[in-house]
Amino acid sequence: MEKLHAEKQVLFRGASKCNIAYPLEFIYPSGFPSFPPTVICNVPFDLLLTRHHSPDTKVLCCFGFNEERWNSSYSGLDVFLEVESLISDYLPGTRVPQHDLVPEPVVKYFDYLQNAALLIPPPFGKLDYGELRKYPYANIRLNKYGKGIVVSLESKGGRISLIRAYEDWFHDTTIYKAKVIVAENPPPSNAATLTDWLEGQGQFVGFRNQQISYYLIIFPDEWGKRGLTRPTWILIKMSNRMPSWIRCFSINDEDTMIRNPSFSSLKRKKALLIGAGSVGSSVATALAQEGIGELTIIDPDIYEPSNSIRHQVGQSWFGFNKVEALKERINSLSPETIVTPLTARVGNTRRNDNEYLMAEIIRSDIVIDTTGSHSVTHYMNSLCMDIGKPFLVGTVTNGAWSSEVITICPGDTGCWICWNMQYGMEMPPSEPMSNLTFAPGCNQPTFSGGVSNIIVAAGFIVQAAIDVLLKKRLAGQEYLVWHSRNKEGERSYGIECKPITKHPNCNHCKRT
């Protein structure tokens, strides 16, 4: 009752039924049963459970990391049963059950300094323990909040620096030298024992040392599933023998592969994108985030403040070439993606531009046209058919109520000319009626409509490109049409896939 009146929390205190040596506290949040109660089992160190029991907070991890197994239909009794099963299955000295494959990383138990974080960019996060032990020092950049990046690892015999994509990160901040410690076990998470631990690692921390010292600790921690470990980093800031723990974030392929299994395959692919407008910018950023290794973007336009209503580039980039601004946006999301911007108009009579375009088509694994221009698409279709390069056309209707994605694989499907002969006279189901159509004038937007439909259209285009690159394209579904409204502008969803067959009168396909 005291807890309820003083802190507006419901607290129950007792002991485990299966082992009275384990005292228990159940603290119910205001969000119960949407959220489970916090269970604290405050026991001496020698009675800590072998798993799922925080050595510092003494909290029991009852329902998995971030409580992902908790269900709002559970009751308080389910919590008691879960706790009792943990105490009976994970007593000190007992064997961990074989069915427990859940990782329990120690790194999550540290009391990190707020707003402080250190980035471990490539190649450092990809080095193994043997390589890391060769470098006893690191140079790090930190701002006044303790947020920054590792710049290099150093030894008397050599130096490893971060890759070029991260060179400008935190460039206007102070450089500090940190001592690198590759340890067999994680550092303690309490100040009372950390100094002794550091000195046990050969690092002298003097009583009268008034300077700030930094220690980069690298140790094996669980990841993926129980029993699997990888190098984990923590930065410790020591000031007047008082430590602060700073969280480290390592950039590595394993984390990316969990979210996108196709990442490693796409990393070796190159795409050529024609058009950096609303649709093109969404396609470009999505391709980079999906893992595409190289991306060349061609567009002649200048970015205007009003473009930001649908574009992926921020409004502050007004006056820049769209391709240059888009390159910066992509590299802020995916620094390792190699982006080549070209401010040019496709079909330009300048010989150098045409030669560069041909070279880019040859080097690319796929060509994507998001310009919505009949002339550009016709021209690019001719080039791609002659070279034998997969060609993708992605457009939206005048009201952005629908999108069309045309996949052309020379030799296997019909081309854009064939598509015109088959479907050119068919209007998308949501083609706006004439009185609702936005008719652009000179140097005006080419269509009206909001960003939500643009993102949907870009998603279909990117997925079609990935299917081609990974050879997962479904035959007979080369032409995709999606709509979100009917001709009157009312909400109406639909999607349809159709084949693009070779037309007997198409001169391009006759040659392939």
Chain segment 371-394, per-residue pLDDT in tens: 999 999 999 999 999 999 999 999
Average pLDDT of the segment spanning 221-239: 89
pLDDT tier at 443 (50, 70, 90 boundaries)? low
Average pLDDT of the segment spanning 5-25: 90
Q: At 27, which helix (H) or strand (E)? A: strand 23-28
What distance in Å separates the CA atoms of residue 348 and residue 354, rounded to the nearest whole number? Answer: 7
Strand partners, 27: 11, 38
Residue 479 confidence (pLDDT) above 60? yes
Q: Coil, strand, or helix at residue 193? A: helix
pLDDT digits (tens, 9 = 90+) for 91-136: 998 888 888 888 888 888 788 999 999 999 999 988 999 999 999 9
| pLDDT for res 393 | 98
Poorest-confidence range of 105-109, 302-306, 449-453?
105-109
Furthest C-alpha separation in the chain: 89
Which has the higher per-residue pLDDT, 7 or 184?
184
| pLDDT for res 431 | 80
Tokens for 115?
Answer: 């707003």
Distance of CA 379 to the CA centre of its chain: 35
Burial 164-191 (b: 16+ CB within 10 A, else e): ebbeebbeeeeebebbbbbbeebbbbee
What distance in Å separates the CA atoms of residue 80 and residue 61, rounded to the nearest whole number? Answer: 13
How far is the CA of 46 from the CAs of 43, 96, 200, 384, in angstroms?
Answer: 8, 17, 22, 70
Residue ranges of alpha helices (H) inside 260-299 are 263-266, 278-290
Tokens for 436?
Answer: 């609702």
Position 85: which residue type?
S
What distance in Å separates the CA atoms of residue 325 and residue 331, rounded to the nearest whole number? Answer: 10
- Structural domains of the chain sorted by starting position, each given as residue range(s) with its CATH number in brackets: 2-102 (3.10.110), 107-252 (3.40.140), 260-511 (3.40.50.720)
Strand partners, 212: 239
Mean pLDDT of the chain: 90
Residue 38 confidence (pLDDT) above 80? yes
| Strand duo 174-182 + 212-223: pairing | parallel
Laid out side by side, the sheet with 270-274 consists of 338-342, 294-298, 270-274, 366-369, 391-396, 402-408, 479-485, 491-498
Q: Coil, strand, or helix at residue 15? A: strand
What distance in Å separates the CA atoms of residue 459 and residue 277, rounded to the nearest whole number? Answer: 15
pLDDT digits (tens, 9 = 90+) for 259-279: 788 888 899 999 999 999 999
Residue 357 confidence (pLDDT) above 60? yes
Residue 234 confidence (pLDDT) above 80? yes
Which has the higher per-residue pLDDT, 407 or 210?
407
Tokens for 150?
Answer: 């590792």
Q: Which residue has the tokens 């802190």?
A: 7
Poorest-confidence range of 8-12, 83-87, 124-128, 349-353?
349-353
Going 159 to 165 to 170 to 171, the CA torsion angle's sign is: positive
| pLDDT for res 169 | 94
| pLDDT for res 209 | 55
Detail the DSSP E strand segments found in 96-211. 112-120, 137-142, 147-155, 158-161, 174-182
pLDDT tier at 404 (50, 70, 90 boundaries)? very high
Tokens for 81?
Answer: 């049963």
Residue 53 gets which letter from DSSP?
Answer: B
Poorest-confidence range of 203-207, 229-233, 491-495?
203-207
What distance in Å separates the CA atoms of residue 16 and residue 81, rounded to the nearest whole number? Answer: 10
Angle at the Cα of 97 (from 91 to 100), degrees rounded to 5? 110
pLDDT digits (tens, 9 = 90+) for 39-62: 999 999 899 999 899 887 899 988
pTM: 0.84
Position 174: which residue type?
T
Average pLDDT of the segment spanning 225-244: 89
Residue 208 confidence (pLDDT) above 60? no
Which has the higher per-residue pLDDT, 440 or 395?
395
Q: Which of 313, 323, 267 is nearest to 290 (CA)?
A: 267
Q: Which of 251, 244, 332 is nearest to 288 (CA)?
A: 332
Poorest-confidence range of 40-54, 57-71, 300-314, 335-349?
57-71
CB-based contact 310:482 (threshold 8 Å):
no
Strand partners, 406: 393, 479
Residue 439 confidence (pLDDT) above 70? no
Residue 350 confidence (pLDDT) above 80? no
Which has the higher per-residue pLDDT, 446 or 34?
34
| pLDDT for res 294 | 97
Q: Which of 214, 215, 206 is nearest to 241 (CA)?
A: 206
Average pLDDT of the segment spanning 415-440: 83
pLDDT tier at 69 (50, 70, 90 boundaries)? confident
CB-based contact 389:367 (threshold 8 Å):
yes
pLDDT digits (tens, 9 = 90+) for 458-476: 999 999 999 999 999 999 9
Q: Report how far apart the first and last C-alpha atoms of the chain are (Å, whole number).
A: 83
What distance in Å separates the CA atoms of residue 433 and residue 442, rounded to the nearest whole number? Answer: 22
